[in-house]
Chain A
Amino acid sequence: MDLMLEVKNLKTGFDIDGQIYHAVDDVSFSVEPGKIVGIVGESGCGKSVMSLSVMQLLPKGIGQITGGEIKFQGKNIENYTNNQMNQIRGKDISMIFQEPMTSLNPVFTIGSQIEEIILNHNKISKAEARERAINLLRQVGIPRVETIIDEYPHQLSGGMRQRIMIAIAIACQPQLLIADEPTTALDVTVQAQILELLKKIQEQNNMSIILITHDLGVVAELCDEVIIMYAGKIVERTNVDKLFYDPQHPYTKLLMASIPRLDIEVDTLETIQGIVPSLKNMPKVGCRFMDRCPSAMPQCKTITPKLAEITDNHEVACLLFEASNSEKGVS
């Protein structure tokens, strides 16, 4: 099989007061083996919901996949039962969460939490599992491994806990790792350590990584391909070089210009007026960025833009680039 993960027309809805609102609306993308794909967007754009959909970890009874396909190594997994998912979760696909403070169980030792996942997916003895856990902790750069393995999460710093999370995530050598804001809660010097570690492990194991972040610096540093999301939809997708040197969607351009940078000095930053529309107030038709877009045209209100390739490996969802509108287009 060619692709590691293929998501087609995925829709994930949340039940609010008896009505379904879509936090992820018709999203398609794919991840190639050994590639790092970044998903960028502001809070509420659906990037975390999308990763939870792939893992089928949506809150039960509230969130559900309402349409589309998720193919992992060629097999459709969107209809897998919980038991079937348990076979691949942690083993073939695993996940690192944002909050290293709250994603570890406070009442079990570090060692037992790593051994648990190894024992779940492998028929080996407890002693062997512990041996593997020790090796994993060494691999993620934990000092004093023999003592720390018997300690509890609260005895460790945030950076150390995130290393433990990574050790758990790579315990069974998954082919796909979903990292949801893995460094957002960490200080920059610790973030640098963790990014370095992720990169090293990715190269060693030849994993694919989906890296969810809002930090464009992290994207530039680590990713091969980038997806920009806005209000539940993909607005632009391309490789990292084109994204930074030839961004096309008005949202992407503004996002790039609104971050203060160390290497470029400006007096006033670009701003994006207004805020992301809430789930309940999402426009049914038309472009969702229209109200905040400096290049908005009348037809943006009535025509929903589709994600389409404008040049090789560069997809944008904006009416400015749709052929039928190009003659009216302004930029």
Chain B
Amino acid sequence: MESTLKEKDNLLEVIDLKTYYPIKGGFLRQTVGHVKAVDNVSFAIKNGETLGLVGESGCGKSTTGRTILRLLDATEGQIVFNGQDITKLKGKSLREIRKDIQMVFQDPYASLNPMQMVGNIVAEPIMNYQKKSLNSLKDEVMALLKKVGLPEDAYYKYAHEFSGGQRQRIGIARALALRPKLIIADEPVSALDVSVQSQVLNLLKELQEEFDLTFLFIAHDLSVVKHMSDRIGVMYLGNIVEIADKEHIYDEPLHPYTQALISAIPVPDPRKKSQRIVLQGDIPSPANPPQGCPFHPRCPKAMAECSLTKPTLKEVKPGHRVACHLYNNDTDKQ
């Protein structure tokens, strides 16, 4: 497989990515199996675009984000960032890449150091990479804090003095500090109240425009993902089952899982009673995924073939890719 980009304006390409966690067991703590958290994920993100990853808990969306950031090692596959294969980078070259990819974490209460002043938290990434005088560093941090909508005196305060929404702003300022190309936002608003959530979502959109950022936006809330993303990938049990422009995902979802997922969201309108597809059962364990299509035990449209062979992601319409046997060429193509 060549490591050059398929398309010139792709910032990130993920090719057949697999991330397995070993299960240790027995007397000698030997590896007795694997949790297949990410099991064959491929996608690309264009410059300036937002790709949303949705799925329910345990579907591997966070692991995908962490593997791209190289916080976890990929078991197989390739991560190509800005034309460079970063899957196996180490040491200095990995450090160089890290400043271009930053992360906003889910829990604004746990991801900020309680012992450090907010100014230092935001300054740390800059100090890591650039030699700057204290004054110019401080000016830069102040400007960042202002940019994310925090008061100037936030510099001298500690994280516990802020509300959840403000803490998330601090986390965003820290992620912005090195002017990264790609920001991986892992459930950035799921810990926030609705009125505060909208403030943070609007901020992220403004910053994207101003700094020409590319986002990988990971969330379980489909309404939030739809609001933020240009394209959306739907994950189930470590696999991307469908990926397309957001309009296509919502207006004509093809995969039965996507259809069920979208129909399951309660619509805030009492006059619209949704036609709901209620799935049976729970998500199987990724340590022991079912044979064939990972979704077939819960799928209302499962066929004999589904329990035998695993469907691959295929383009059924321009830009709309689905992994489902319903859309095989030889069967009833829709």
Contact = CB atoms under 8 A, between A and B. Distances in A.
Contacts of A214: 193-194
Given A188-B261, A221-B266, A262 B250 contact: yes
Interface string A237-257: 000110011000000001110
Interface residues of B, number: 41
A87 interface: no
A160 interface: yes
B262 A255 contact: no
Interface string B229-243: 000000000000000
Given A159-B282, A189-B279, A272-B195, A262 B269 contact: no
Contact of B268 (A143, A217, A276): A217
A261 B223 contact: yes
Interface string B209-244: 000000000001011101100000000000000000
B165 A275 contact: yes
Interface string B95-127: 000000000000000000000000000000000
A215 B198 contact: no
Contacts of A241: 270-271
A177 B222 CA distance: 29
Nearest to A222: B266
A245 B165 CA distance: 29
Contact of A268 (B205, B224, B276): B205
A262 B222 contact: yes
B109 to A, nearest CB: 13
Contact of A189 (B194, B226, B264, B271): B264
Contact of B57 (A42, A187, A215): A187
Contact of A192 (B163, B199, B276): B276
B56 interface: yes
A260 B194 CA distance: 9
B150 interface: no
Nearest to A254: B195
B258 to A, nearest CB: 11
A193 B201 CA distance: 29
A43 interface: yes
A260 B195 contact: no
Nearest to B196: A275
Q: Which residue, of B220, B222, B278, has the highest number of chain A Cβ atoms within 10 A?
A: B278
B265 interface: yes
A42 B278 CA distance: 28
Contact of A270 (B198, B262, B265, B270): B198
Nearest to A183: B266
Given A42-B193, A271-B199, A262 B267 contact: yes
A297 interface: no
B106 to A, nearest CB: 15
Interface in A170-194: 187-193
Interface string A201-242: 000000000000011111111000000000000000000110
Contacts of B8: none
Given A157-B282, A188-B220, A269-B201, A42 B264 contact: no
B72 to A, nearest CB: 23
A190 B263 CA distance: 12
Given A160-B282, A275-B165, A269 B266 contact: no
B84 to A, nearest CB: 34
Contact of B193 (A43, A191, A266, A269): A43
A275 B222 contact: no
Contacts of A275: 163, 165, 196
Contacts of B283: 187
Given A214-B194, A262-B223, A191 B202 contact: no
A215 B282 contact: no
Contact of A258 (B197, B205, B222, B271): B197
B265 A262 contact: yes
A231 B223 CA distance: 26
B196 A219 contact: no
Contacts of B223: 259-262
Interface string B156-183: 0000000101000000000000000000
Given A217-B268, A272-B195, 5 more contacts: A191-B264, A240-B270, A244-B269, A259-B194, A272-B196
5 contacts: A192-B263, A192-B276, A217-B267, A240-B270, A244-B270
